[in-house]
Amino acid sequence: MQRFVIATLFSMALFMTAPAFAQSVHAIVFNDSKASTNEVDVKVGDVVSFYHMDPEEAHQLYSTDKDHQFDVKHIFQNGDHFDIQITSPGSFDILCHAMPHMKITVNATE
């Protein structure tokens, strides 16, 4: 069942990008105490969607980058998700309060 949900989320992210929209959606799924990728290349205007599918671990994500600062203070529950829109070019890291070894690098271009 869990594999089906993950496959469905990835399919949704792929089909959400249509020529009529100026943005793409990049899905990152948390499962088995890790993220589905540790680096993502995006364009300004794109959305990065984080999906929590990890029944064993909590993930509390944040970024201290001045242009992409956020801090998800609540503990993710299995099935939760949130989005960030990329507003400027540059590279920045997304870290996790609950899992200090976890890091996702976002590389944003115009």
Q: Each residue of 59-81: pLDDT tens digit?
A: 889 999 999 999 987 766 788 88
Q: What's the pTM value of the predicted model, to 2 decimals?
A: 0.76
Which of 32, 33, 31 minimizes the C-alpha distance to 98? Answer: 33
Q: What does the pLDDT read at residue 39?
A: 98
- Cβ-Cβ contacts under 8 Å for 69 (sequence gap 6 or more): 63
User: CA 56 to CA 59: how far, in whole Å?
Assistant: 10
